[in-house]
Structure 1
Amino acid sequence: MEFSSTTEEIFIPLKPLFLITRIFALTNAQSFNAKDNEENKIQFQNFALVGLWIAAFLVGMFYTVYVFSYGIHSFPNKVNVALIADILLIFSTSIVTLVKFSVNSRNFSDILRKLRNIDWLIKCESRMEIYKETRRGVVIQLVTLSLVIFLSIFVEANAYVEDILPSMGSHIPELLSYSLNIITVLMYANITRMAKYRYMHIFELLQKYCKAVDMKTFNKTNRSESTSRGDIELPFMGRSSIHLFQDQSKHLQTLRLLYIEMYDTVQMITSHFGVPILCHILSVMVTCVLMFYSSFHFIHDAVSNSEGVTTYIASCYLMFYGIVYVTPFVWLVISCDETAQDANRGVIHIQRAIASPYTGHDVITELEKLSNQLKDMKVEFSVCGLFVLNLPFLCTFVGGIFTYIIIMVQLN
């Protein structure tokens, strides 16, 4: 099936990200515009690329574990155990993500098609500006990630000058897996923010519609009396019994359909990213505990033994590594929380319209149906149904990191 040129609009915000995700075999976005006879070929190429990445990550995982287990690094036993667990989790997260996305390769395209159909229903004239603004944000994220990776390689090379070859040989596969996991989080966060913009626009339409209905009802139900001093408007004595016009009823039905489509899109997003994000949460927690504790441990040893600048550089590098890995996840949780809050705030707009004295009975009936629909379809971004990505979870997550750091300090 070949889509029209207007279909390309939905890919404008994510085009820079698609270039990276295709390299890592996270998406096969080129199949969106492929014909039926080309789709099988694209699928085969994507599966082959997924197989190559999985094989590379497996080799990199075993080699990295070997280097840190039997290499020249002399870390305390508890640091070695946490380090091996961290390596296994980072690589396992990448492998699980590749397998999950390759098995459900059509899910991401279905999500974007849903968003495209919602845009057509909304008929948002300013959507191109929103697309371009989102794309600028994506470009900034990718440029920042690239700079962080190059800085990480540079600091690694300066921290381990004497044993640079084994160190870089184990660190480059880890950085690739590290980057793939961050790219997955950026995909989730940007798709979530795209959903947020649409929720905001839907409720702007609802507010405009309710104001328009109020004005029509007010003009038709209020009477005026002509006097020598001019027209005097008589007070409104009750709710309007004017029936809904056909276009008004159709407008409310469109709003209900939009919310159903958006709720379905959110469920597809959480289902597509659930397992990879669950694995990523575990890897982020272990990485942060390991990096922050190791950084404090090395600084303490450097101060106690009067060691050189290299130890301080390595300590700062470990802390920097942990902060960079956790920052995209924190931004994802904040994005999910903001989107859910904006989506569930629609009930307030509807109740405000119902409470207006100028809203007719037929309009109230339709708005109450929409209000009940919003209450039944509460929007939240859960991870495999285990917990919800929101600010309370973020506080629990940060508290868990500090708790495990304290436990590692107490272990001898």
Structure 2
Amino acid sequence: MVRDYIARDPRTGKPISVAKTKVVEASFEPIEGPWSALVAGDAMSLAEGSLEQREVRWLGETHIMGRSHGVRALSTVPQSMVRAAHGLLLLALEDDDDAVRISALEVLPEFAVRRSEDLFDWLSVLLDDDSIGVSKAASDALARAAPTFPSGVQSSLENELRSPIAYRQQAAWKGLKSLADTWPEVVADHIDTLLLEQDVTLRRKAAGLLRKVLSRNSSAVWDLISWSLNDDDSQVRRTAAKTLPALARQDVRMATMFAERAIADPDSEVRLAAIKAIQKLDKDHGRARDLIVNGARSKDLRVRKACIELLPRLMGEDELRIFATDLLKTETNEALIKTLDEMRFDALLEGTEAQKNAALAPAIPVPEIDKEIAQSQGKGIGLLSASKPKDLIEKAEQQEAALSSVEPKTPTIERRPSQDEIMGYMDDEEDDFDDFDSGPDEEMF
């Protein structure tokens, strides 16, 4: 066998720790029992029949181990004995004793991790064994092996999923669900074929696995959801529609497209699931907005209610009032009418005085630095009176006291020059002119 590659740190040479799938480890955790107390040599001897029985102590009790117990203990042998143990296990799978074949099937999944050649071929054969006990053990082994060996059990799993026998079908579906945790792409291929079945039960079960393969987030999964939403059976469509909210968190574009189709579905449960998906979408997305606006006029009350509740998150106040007023013209549900009335109510126009005052926008707060500057200048802020600092008040009082102690001076009367004096017309010239008119000149005439 080729040795497994081990990733090592180039500086230290130590193996690099790699996360392992817990589901795979849990699937092959050895089932303990009295056979676990057998040493490797005794287990091999009992399995090949060279040793008839061996007495062991297990949980304080004594147990007698036979061939079937030796076969069951083959998974505990060391690596050096795996090849020989593998041959003994193949012989046990074709043994005539039912108990031996059952023990071989019980150890098959955990032994296949160490060496799996021809084991799954025998598993497919024993699924149709005449013994019910052997057939059930084979079904259980298939369910346990499926998460780690999808290719080894693929054909057997496909057949068992469609088996008319209940316990075989249940075990196969259990294995398929476990496989979805480790290999979702393989499960998607199984769902692809199951959705084409005529049996509606198979299609319903297949649709129930859609949520488990959403993590793949590929076009193959989108096709599966699309086909399920177009299925003739309403239950299949409901199950597919319930995956849309989870899809909306991964791919808004595809979720919007599917929700647009589902919201027009004749089944109310499908439409409601579409609304839940729309609630997860980005409301600014154009198509999502159109879906909500159109859904507010839906004939389905639940769809209409869900869409109307989303309107305040979608529209501004003015647009919401106009749209709510328009919806009130056709709305008949009392609860929705009350909701729409609240949306269209404008407190500034229709409210009481208290409501109008409450609707007023509060004044923008004045920064603290502006308050300090205004106070230092003796100014007030808004309706509040100015609060002068104590040192400024004391200084103003001292100045006022100093001014009041000085005696006021008697104002002196000053003669202001006339306009004629300013213009240069002197009084002595006017006097001479008067003397000339009334003087000796009068005698000359």
Structure ranking higher on relative contact order (CA contacts 8 Å, 6+ apart):
1
Structure-1-length-normalised TM-score: 0.20
TM (normalized to structure 2)?
Answer: 0.19
